[in-house]
Amino acid sequence: MSGALPDIRFPRVGRCIYCGATSARPGGRGRLTEEHIIPFALDGHMILPEASCDSCQKITSGFETAVLRGGYRPIREWLGMSSRAKGRPKTLPMFVDTGKGTKRVDVPVDIYPVSLLVPVQPVPTLLLDRFGPSPAGVPPIWARMIAGDSAALEAMGLPGAASQSLDAFACFRMVAKIAHCMAIATFGFGSFEPLLLDCILKGWDDAQEAFIGSFPGIEPPATAMHRVDLRPPGWCDGDGDLLIAKVRLFARYGAPTFLVVVGRRPPSR
């Protein structure tokens, strides 16, 4: 069901877009690897060549793996999204409460109850002047049932919905990485002061609420599976030279949009 697009390769960066290391400098941190702006496992086709050192790649792959092989694995397999594994699984596990403990049941992918989960955050505090506070009562996770055969599941003695979980903080870090990569691809390394590196390399904490949040309200479904839109300085009234991105994963299914303050650009630019 997946429709991966041809690769788009941007000009080589020649240094790590996270720590600035080059493979040639003394004390450098190993080879430079290519970086998919949207993860390969989500059918990402935009690539930054020579853009991540081995050390930073281990960090970014860690939180991406937590999302892509965790809460997003069912929808990835159901859609047949890109994978480096040989062959595709024919089943996915469901964990059923028997009253005496949890029992694992392997369920065929074509009847598996697939839910799409997206974590929701308040509007980034740096953008409150433009967007105002988020609506009250919004749940921390947006969820939508995407697929599943309830009759076939009942015939197996299983509930019609699987209990899925998503590492929200890992997802926010993945979104920060996507926005940072897109800004590098668009404007070039060194063209702005990055504001997301602590989130990407060190993890989520309360300070990141200034930079990463959710667009208030749900936008209509889009034709594209994912969207990453960069807005120029001045897009938000009073934001000065803030560089802002909208990141929407699974836009085709009406998922929420993330608002990300990527960095600050010099006034001369």
The Cα 81–Cα 4 span in angstroms is 8
Please tell me the predicted confidence (pLDDT) of residue 267: 65
Question: Strand 193-194 and strand 258-264: pairing?
Answer: antiparallel
The H or E element containing residue 248 is strand 242-248
Global pTM reads 0.91
Q: What is the mean pLDDT of residues 117-124?
A: 95
Judge whether 261 and 211 are in contact, CB under 8 Å. Answer: yes
**Which residue would you say has higher pLDDT here, 132 or 128?**
128
| pLDDT tens per residue, range 181-238 | 999 999 999 999 999 999 999 999 999 999 999 999 889 999 999 999 987 544 544 4
pLDDT at 113 over 70: yes
Q: Are residues 121 and 204 in contact, defined by beta-carbon separation less than 8 angstroms?
A: no
Mean pLDDT, the chain, as a whole number? 88
pLDDT digits (tens, 9 = 90+) for 2-59: 555 788 999 999 999 999 998 645 555 568 999 999 999 999 999 999 999 999 999 9
Q: Indicate the pLDDT class of residue 239, thresholds 50, 70 and 90.
A: very low
Please give the Cα distance from 266 to 269 (Å, whole number): 6
Instruction: Calculate what percentage of the chain has a pLDDT beyond 90.
Output: 67
Residue 131 has pLDDT above 70, yes or no: yes
Q: What is the Cα–Cα distance from 196 to 17, expressed in whole angstroms? A: 11
